[in-house]
Amino acid sequence: MKLERALYGAKAIIFDCDGTLVDSAPVYGKAWAAGFASVGGRMAEDWYRIRSGLSEHILMDAFEKVSGLKLDREQVIAHMRNAYLENIGALSEISMIASIARKNVGRLAMAVASGGPAAIVVPSLRHLKLDTLFDAIITLDDVGVPKPAPNLFIEAARRCNIWFEAQALQGPQRARTLVRLNGHRRSHLHLRPGGQPMDRRVMRALSSCRGLSACRAEGLA
């Protein structure tokens, strides 16, 4: 019932991949350890655990700082991706979220917006037979700008032929955004108010979007 209320009036759902649809952290952890080891680095499991989900170059930035190494990034990425794909059979879906996607096939436009590379995201979804559920699978390769920037979500909405209006809610600690996806075939952000450029507060709020985004408004100005 709560899910039905959350999706009432929605035109689309945008899902994250890692940690949302796919339990990939254990596989990624071993793969990154192999990647860093290929250039003489040693990655602690605890260190990775709190950084799980970071895009490749952001994670390597952090590893360089803590290790003092200057990484051969192409080599690290090649070894990491190979190790991941060799162990792809260890992936599992997160059934609670995947079931939402299955229930809404043909009812709502759906997309995946992942900060991972297509070389890993697409095979992961395909291996778990999740790829065919979605109208679009957007990865970092498509936009070139990692999260927390909103580019992945914007492109996912565009691919679903949806435009959206962001409303930032005032709050003492942080701004939150509720997003309404409307069935108009517009591929750009509708800026508020009166077409004025979106302010930094709204952009920060959009940047905080994570995981499963049920795309509707709550009627709050």
pLDDT tens, per residue, the chain with 221 residues: 577 777 777 888 999 999 999 999 999 999 999 999 999 999 999 999 999 989 999 999 999 999 999 999 999 999 999 999 999 999 999 999 999 999 999 999 999 999 999 999 999 999 999 999 999 999 999 999 988 888 898 899 889 887 654 433 333 333 333 344 333 333 333 333 333 344 444 344 333 333 444 333 222 22
Tell me if 187 is assigned to some domain: yes
Same domain, 194 and 140: yes
Q: Is 28 left (phi over 0), alpha (psi -120 to 50) or beta?
A: alpha
- Give the residue from 35, 68, 90 where a domain finishes: 90
Please report where in the chains the tokens 């927390």 appear, as a residue. Answer: 148
Pair 29, 49 in one domain: yes
Report how far residue 198's alpha carbon sits from residue 192's, in angstroms, rounded to the nearest whole number: 6
Q: What is the pLDDT of residue 1?
A: 57
Q: Using the 3D structure, point to which of 73, 90, 107 is the last residue of a domain.
A: 90
The pTM (predicted TM-score) of the whole model is 0.75
Residues 123 and 204 in one domain: yes
Q: Is the Cα torsion angle 63, 208, 46, 30 positive or negative in sign?
A: negative
Whether residues 206 and 178 fall in one domain: yes
* Residue 41 contacts residue 73 (beta carbons within 8 Å): no
SS3 16: coil
The answer to whether residue 219 is domain-embedded is no
**Domain limits at 120?**
2-22+92-214
Specify the pLDDT at position 164. 52
Cis peptide leading into 197, omega within 30 of 0? no
Buried b (16+ CB within 10 A) or exposed e, 41-61: bebeeeebeeeebbbbeebbe
Domain count, the chain: 2
Q: How far apart are CA 202 and CA 108, in angstroms?
A: 25
Taking 3-state DSSP, the helix, strand and coil percentages for the chain, each rounded to the nearest 5, stand at 45, 15, 40
